[in-house]
Amino acid sequence: MTVPQLPSRLVFKIPSTAVLGALLFAITATPFAWAAPGLYVIYVIPVVAIAWILRVRTVADGTRLVARTLFGRHVLPWSDVRALKVSERSWVRAVDEAGKELPLPNVRTRHLPALSLISGGRLDDPTEAPARAPQESGNDEPREEAKAE
């Protein structure tokens, strides 16, 4: 039986092939961009989109979380992570000891088990069933459920 190997780091990012969409936009915008003076600024859109695709990501390893945005970088050691908060749209935010929320770009709820694993047990896996406590009553017989008819 083989034991699955734990990766040294996890990278949550938009696939690099998304750059092709921005390049396609630039190509199809060319007739519009040269139709009148000054419309060539439309090329700013694919340039910003490419920069965003290549830059924005979250990297998690055994010691820290690194959230890179378009213009900044936030480093949060696992020891400072108090909890992970899930928004209404399933985006994940890290909550530090001071209660400040740090958005984790491209991390969704489906990634929580992987974050739990890479954190080295510092975070609980929300998909695992909690351990069942032993029954407190002296009766060890299973109870029958009442069935509604």
Neighbouring C-beta atoms of residue 88, cutoff 10 Å: 5
Say what the pLDDT of residue 88 is. 85
Confidence band, pLDDT 50/70/90 cuts, at residue 28: very high
* CA angle, residues 43, 25, 37, in degrees to nearest 5: 35
Q: In terms of Cα–Cα distance, which of 22, 24, 106 is closest to 60?
A: 106
Confidence band, pLDDT 50/70/90 cuts, at residue 127: confident
Query: What is the value of pTM for the model shown?
Result: 0.75
**What CATH fold (topology level) applies to the domain 9-118?**
PH-domain like (2.30.29)
Say what the pLDDT of residue 5 is. 78
User: Of 39-43, 50-54, 131-135, where does mean pLDDT reach its minimum?
Assistant: 131-135
Say what the pLDDT of residue 7 is. 84
The full set of domain ranges for the chain reads 9-118
